[in-house]
Amino acid sequence: MLDIPICNPPDRNPRRATLAVPAGSVDCHTHIFDSRYPLSPARGYTPPDSTLADMAHMHSQLGIERVVFTQPSIYGVDNSAILDAMAKIPELARAVIAVDMGVTDDQLAAFDQQGVRGVRLNLDNKGGMPVSLDDVPQLAGRIRDLGWHLEFLFTGEDLPDLAGLLRRLEVPVSIGHFGYMPAAAGVDFPPFQLLLELVREGNTWVKLSGPNRLRVGELPPWPEIPPLAHALIEAGPDRMLWATDWPHPNKFSPLPNDADLIEQLKLWAPDEGMRHRILVDNPERLYAF
To the query of whether residue 245 is one of the catalytic residues in this protein, the response is yes
E strand or H helix at 30, and its extent?
strand 26-30
Q: Which CATH number fits domain 26-287: 3.20.20.140, 3.40.50.150, 1.10.1200.10, 3.10.450.50?
A: 3.20.20.140
Alpha-carbon distance of 277 to 66, in angstroms, equals: 14
Question: Which of 215, 231, 230 shows the shortest CA–CA distance to 264?
Answer: 230
- For residue 128, the SS3 value is coil
Domain boundaries in the chain?
A: 26-287
Distance from chain centroid for Cα 82: 13
The pTM for the full model equals 0.97
Which residue among 11, 27, 54, 245 is the active-site one?
A: 245
Beta carbons of 199 and 236 less than 8 angstroms apart? yes
Distance from chain centroid for Cα 23: 21
Per-residue tens of pLDDT for the chain, all 289 residues: 468 999 999 999 999 999 999 999 999 999 999 999 999 998 999 999 999 999 999 999 999 999 999 999 999 999 999 999 999 999 999 999 999 999 999 999 999 999 999 999 999 886 777 899 999 999 999 999 999 999 999 999 999 999 999 999 999 999 999 999 999 999 999 999 999 999 999 999 999 999 999 999 999 999 999 999 999 999 999 999 999 999 999 999 999 999 999 999 999 999 999 999 999 999 999 999 9
Beta carbons of 268 and 225 less than 8 angstroms apart? yes
Beta carbons of 268 and 226 less than 8 angstroms apart? yes
pLDDT computed for residue 2 by the predictor:
65
47-52 long-range contacts, CB within 8 A, separation 24+: 47/6, 47/7, 47/9, 47/72, 47/74, 47/247, 47/249, 48/6, 48/7, 48/8, 48/9, 48/247, 50/9, 50/10, 50/246, 50/247, 52/85, 52/88, 52/89
pLDDT computed for residue 1 by the predictor:
47
